[in-house]
Amino acid sequence: MARPATNGFEEVSPYRWWILVGLITAAILEVLDTTIVNVSLPQMAGNLGATTEEIGWVSTGYILSNVVVLPMTAWLSSRFGRRRYLSGSILLFTAASFFCGISNSLQALVVWRILQGAGGAALLATAQATIREVFPKSQQGLVQAIYVLGIIVAPTLGPTLGGWITDNYSWHWAFLINIPIGIASFLLVSTFLQDSAYAMKTTKIDWLGVALLTVGLGSLQYVLEEGNAKLWLEDPTIAKLSFLAAVSLPLFVWWQLTPRNPMPVVNLRVLRNKDLTAALVLFLVLGFGLYGGVFLFPMFAQGVLRLTPTTTGLALLPGGIATGVSAILTGRLANPAKILVDPRILIFTGLAMFTGAMVMMGGLPSNSDVNATFVPLLLRGFGLGLLFVPINLAAFASLEGSEIAQGSGLMNLCRQLGGSFGIAVLGSYVTHQMAMARGNLVGHVATGSPGLAERLQGLTQNFVAHGYPLQTAQQAAMAVVDRQLQVQASTVAFNASFIMIAGAALLASPLVFILRKPKGFAGTSAAAAEAH
């Protein structure tokens, strides 16, 4: 097979479209698996005889290993060769999916989920870096849009697909469905992909760096995953792991940057690139908003608006389609070969749309129906498509050679960590706000509101008219009022959480000024001149 041509910007592969199909399907499988099993956890717990806390390790184990391996993907790709590492990761992910699907004990399932998460890291970071390298500059906008489309839409559709599989088949098929797709992806990548022309020689292994990274990121991710359920530092395990993360991660950063470490496992010196650094912070915020929003909306829709799981999934579908439309559109407008619109304008527009959508969600009353969520979810979806593609393009445009793989690993890590922070922070915030709102409402009710007395009397009379004894009718009336108080408290809490997401996006907007104007772009006239 012929070696790809290189020209300083890319190593153009004649088989790039086959490679793209293999990499995109693998990346979608990886992102999908972070959310698709969540709906199936109750059924898994019942089948395997596990408690709610124990079955949570099916998700936690996957994300822990995934987050630890993500920043090491550039080093692993250089160490083993890009084709071998990517093919091996797809094979590991697929094999682990098979063994997850046939597992008959919790211990076996968790072990295979950990291995599946480790294999899945390359399916994101190394895949994206490979797409950046094997496609010419003229096609970067399109292919990055296709890649982004997969990683944004997949977590939105994951719960819906997982619920459908669980309802119609069994939880085993949430894993077994990966096997034919994974095999097809493996055959395409192993057949057509070549090793990178920019791979660095790695003669030694930075064992200390690997150990500090594993302990630090593993501890941090566990704290974020389990902290809210365990009341944070009140739990001894969370307190110890928080301390480990606080010590290990600064030591890791120091060790990676010190001259005494000739071969760091993660090249943090790429952070001197201000475009990349700004993009990483933006990805943290976007991960916070993307995964945080996907975490909040089903609880709000089913707990407050009383939507069914199916209706909840369908409510998210138009936003996913809007993301696809805007991602493809943005890929054309911000294509590095012919930039029609300054990517920074697209990012600002996306942030404004996303912020506006969250503000609208933050104003929905408890008596809203599914139609009231249509516009904000559509706006949110379209805004996300305007954000991820130009941020990716802006970050990659300033990276060269081996920096591409390193930057891709860090960007995917920040997106994943942002999501973990989002779920942890928003989960705690909702709980706290709900308790405060309920306390305020109960206090108001306890003062003896005339409206409350009238409401209780009307409910009591209604229950009596339906044959309830007086005492039972009074208790039933109080229960109805209590449920209404809980719904109102939940509405206040979720509204405040959506506003928090909007505030995070607003605070991140000044980072766009750090991104440099694309080379060769000076407005519409320049773009038109280039077109001719």
Q: What percent of the chain has pLDDT over 90?
A: 23
DSSP one-letter string for 270-306: GGG-HHHHHHHHHHHHHHHHHHHHHHHHHHHHHHTS-
DSSP one-letter string for 228-275: TTTTGGGSHHHHHHHHHHHHHHHHHHHHHHSTT-SS-SS-GGGGG-HH
Q: Mean pLDDT across the stretch 260-272? A: 86
Q: 292-341 pLDDT, tens per residue?
A: 887 788 888 888 888 876 787 778 888 888 888 898 888 888 877 778 88
∠ CA 313-316-319, rounded to 5°: 155
Burial class (CB in 10 A: 0-12, 13-18, 19+), 445: middle
* Inter-residue contact 19 to 188 (CB < 8 Å): yes
Measured from the Cβ of residue 243, the count of other Cβ atoms closer than 10 Å reads 12
* Inter-residue contact 347 to 487 (CB < 8 Å): no
Out of 198-202, 211-215, 259-263, 476-480, least confident range: 198-202
Q: How many angstroms separate the Cα of 521 from the Cα of each of 145, 267, 278, 391, 398?
A: 20, 30, 20, 16, 15
Confidence class of residue 11 from pLDDT cuts 50, 70 and 90? Answer: low
What CA–CA distance (Å, rounded) separates 326 from 291? 19
The predicted structure's pLDDT at residue 376 = 95
- The DSSP letter of residue 341 is S
3 state DSSP class of 5: strand
Q: Mean pLDDT across the stretch 126-145? A: 84
Out of 41-50, 159-168, 306-315, least confident range: 159-168
Q: 415-426 pLDDT, tens per residue?
A: 888 888 888 888
Work out whether strand 11-12 and strand 5-6 pair parallel, antiparallel, or are unpaired.
Answer: antiparallel
Confidence class of residue 488 from pLDDT cuts 50, 70 and 90? Answer: confident
Average pLDDT value for the chain: 83
Which residue intervals of 447-523 are DSSP H helices?
450-465, 470-508
pTM (two decimals)? 0.78
Q: Mean pLDDT across the stretch 97-118? A: 93
CATH architecture of 1-201: Up-down Bundle (1.20)
Burial class (CB in 10 A: 0-12, 13-18, 19+), 528: exposed
Confidence class of residue 479 from pLDDT cuts 50, 70 and 90? Answer: confident
* Inter-residue contact 405 to 71 (CB < 8 Å): no
- pLDDT of 166 over the 80 cut: no
* Inter-residue contact 68 to 218 (CB < 8 Å): yes
- What is 268-429+499-532's CATH number, 1.20.58.100, 3.30.870.10, 1.20.1250.20, 3.40.50.10860? 1.20.1250.20
Task: Give the list of residues 6+ apart from residue 139 with CB closer than 8 angstroms, or none.
Answer: 335, 337
Task: Give the list of residues 6+ apart from residue 144 with CB closer than 8 angstroms, or none.
Answer: 131, 132, 331, 389, 392, 393, 396
Q: Give the residue among 271, 282, 334, 274 at the shortest CA–CA distance from 519.
A: 334
Task: Give the list of residues 6+ apart from residue 505 with CB closer than 8 angstroms, or none.
Answer: 285, 289, 351, 354, 355, 358
